[in-house]
Amino acid sequence: MSSTSSPNVSNSDLETLSDLLRTSSPTNQSPHLQSLNISKAQVTATPEDKLIELQTRKIELLERRDELVKSRAKLYNEVNDLRVSLHDLTKDASVSAGQKRVEELLNANTRAYIEALELRNLKNDDYVLNNLNVLPSTDWGLRLEYIKKFVPFLEIDKINTFNAYVEGDMMRVIEFEVILPLIFKLGVKLSVNCEDDALSRVEVLDTFKVAVISNSFAQTLTRNYIPHRKINSIMYGLNSFSKLLHTRISIVHKIVTEFKNNLYDGEEKYHDLLQETVADNKKNFAILQNIDQVELKFVVGERLFRLVLNWGIVMGDTSIGSCRSQINLYIIDDMGNTRNLSQIFQSLLLQYDVITSLKVIIKNIF
């Protein structure tokens, strides 16, 4: 292009170019600048430049169209999501209304049922309270009958109940006898507070009878079980005591009869037990219940030996009231020297009974 202005360009054309190029009026510019602007206007005004500009504009419009299409699709999806949400909310509101109505009907029906049930149960309260509850029965006669099933080595007799006013409280007093068959009887007296059916006092008469046989158990009975009103431990302890005492009586009687020729002072001490005639069981039990030691004599060469079996009944587990046997065995020579065979005897008792264990020791020593 030429750097000089064309003689054929008019003032109106210069104004148009000035406007297009956003420049000041030609009258305010130098001739050199005017010629430059005219050259620039001629450059931009070519068909190729217009085509490029149109293509650029087209591209911009296409990009704008794509953006609008994407925006339209996005808005369309959001509208669909809102429609689904509206449908779900409408459905939930409908379901909630239905559920609320159902719950109201169920609650009303439940209230009606409960009222009817309470009305019907009023007639059965006395029966349930007296027969179907898990509380201790207030029928003490029945309770004592049940006790017999758990204490087979005891008998309960002469049950008597009455009311008594004691120290400002109304008491239900239960008296009965605990019988150790063929041995002895103990009187028991229970005082029950009528207000709350609580056992307030326990009395056991003639505990000295127990002390004669087992001082250990008698002390636990009088110092622990009775003052602390442990009626369960009293009954279980007496049952355990009776069982062991009957076992000891039976075995001592067998020892006396089987080793009657070896009894030390047998004619005096065991005379009534060795009678050929049928003896009275009560009399035999009265003798045997107090025998906790049996002495046998054996002669080896010219020397006399005594084999002493001692069988005591002592307190075992105080928490439940169980008694246990305490068996010891000693051998004493004619000089008075004593040897303890208890450990050997106890080891034999783990395999054999008392009679067999005694025979094993006698056979090996004498």
> How confident is the model over 149-169, as a mean pLDDT?
85
Least reliable range by pLDDT among 35-44, 227-236, 267-276, 346-355 = 35-44
Eight-class DSSP state of 263:
B
| 353 in Cβ contact with 250 (< 8 Å) | no
Give the least confident one: 127-131, 171-175, 228-232, 360-364. Answer: 127-131
Instruction: Give the pLDDT of residue 11.
Output: 45
Looking at the domain assignment, is residue 345 inside a domain? yes
Q: Quick one: 107 and 184 in the same domain?
A: no
pLDDT of residue 133: 62
Residue 83, pLDDT > 90, answer no
Asked if pLDDT for residue 318 goes beyond 80, the answer is yes
Whole-number Å distance between alpha carbons of 366 and 355:
16
pLDDT value at 235 more than 70: yes
For residue 122, the model assigns a pLDDT of 66
Query: Quick one: pLDDT at residue 17?
Result: 43
Q: What is the mean pLDDT of residues 44-69?
A: 83
Instruction: Verify that 82 and 119 share a domain, yes or no.
Output: yes
Contacts (Cβ under 8 Å, ≥6 apart) of 103 = none
Whether residues 119 and 206 fall in one domain: no
My answer on whether 201 and 273 are in the same domain is: no
Query: Cβ–Cβ contacts within 10 Å for residue 216, how many?
Result: 17
pLDDT at 4 over 60: no
User: In terms of domains, do 69 and 118 share one?
Assistant: yes
In a domain, 331, yes or no: yes
- Check whether 8 has a pLDDT greater than 70: no
Q: Domain span at residue 274?
A: 241-365
Residue 267 and residue 157 in one domain: no
In the chain, % of residues over pLDDT 70? 79
Considering the domain boundaries, does residue 332 fall inside one? yes
Mean pLDDT of the chain: 80
What's the mean pLDDT in 42-70? 81
Give the total number of structural domains in the chain: 3
- Report pLDDT for 249: 92
| pLDDT, position 279 | 60
Give the per-residue pLDDT at 315.
Answer: 93
What is the per-residue DSSP string for 227-286? TTT-HHHHHHHHHHHHHHHHHHHHHHHHHHHHTGGGBTTHHHHSTGGG-SSPPPHHHHHH
Q: Is position 5 within any domain?
A: no
Between 26-30, 47-51, 53-57, the lowest mean confidence (pLDDT) is in: 26-30
Q: Burial code of 48-57, b = ≥16 C-beta within 10 A, e = fewer?
A: eeeeeeeeee
Q: Which residues contact 189 (CB under 8 A, 6 or more apart)?
A: 173, 174, 175, 201, 202, 203, 204, 205
**349 plus 305 within the same structural domain:** yes
- Using the 3D structure, point to which of 199, 228, 257 is the last residue of a domain: 228
pLDDT > 70? residue 60:
yes
Token pair of 33 as six digits: 């600048």
- Residues 81, 172, single domain; the answer is no
> Residue 29 region, left (φ>0) first, then alpha (ψ -120 to 50), else beta?
beta
- pTM, two decimals, is 0.60
Among 85-89, 116-120, 174-178, 253-257, whose mean pLDDT is lowest? Answer: 116-120
DSSP 247: H
Lowest-confidence segment of 136-145, 326-335, 355-364 by average pLDDT: 136-145
Strand partners, 194: none
Are 301 and 357 found together in one domain? yes
**Residue 88 shares a structural domain with residue 129:** yes
On whether residue 33 sits in a domain, the answer given is no
Q: How many residues appear in the chain?
A: 366
Domain boundary among the residues 119, 134, 149 is at 134
Short-list 343, 350, 316, CA closest to 329? 343
- Taking the C-alpha atoms of residue 74 and residue 363, their distance in angstroms, rounded to an integer, is 111
Q: Tell whether 271 and 352 lie within a shared domain.
A: yes
Query: Which domain-ending residue is among 114, 134, 154?
Result: 134
Q: Mean of the pLDDT values across residues 20-35?
A: 48
What's the rounded Cα separation, in Å, for the pair 162 and 198?
Answer: 16
**pLDDT, tens digit, 9 for 90 and up, residues 160-206:** 888 888 787 888 898 999 998 888 899 999 998 888 888 889 999 98
Is there a single domain that holds both residue 220 and residue 264? Answer: no
Here the tokens at position 65 are: 């169209």
Question: 84-97: per-residue pLDDT in tens?
Answer: 888 888 877 777 77
Which pLDDT score is estimated for 123? 63
pLDDT band at 131 (very low <50, low <70, confident <90, very high): low
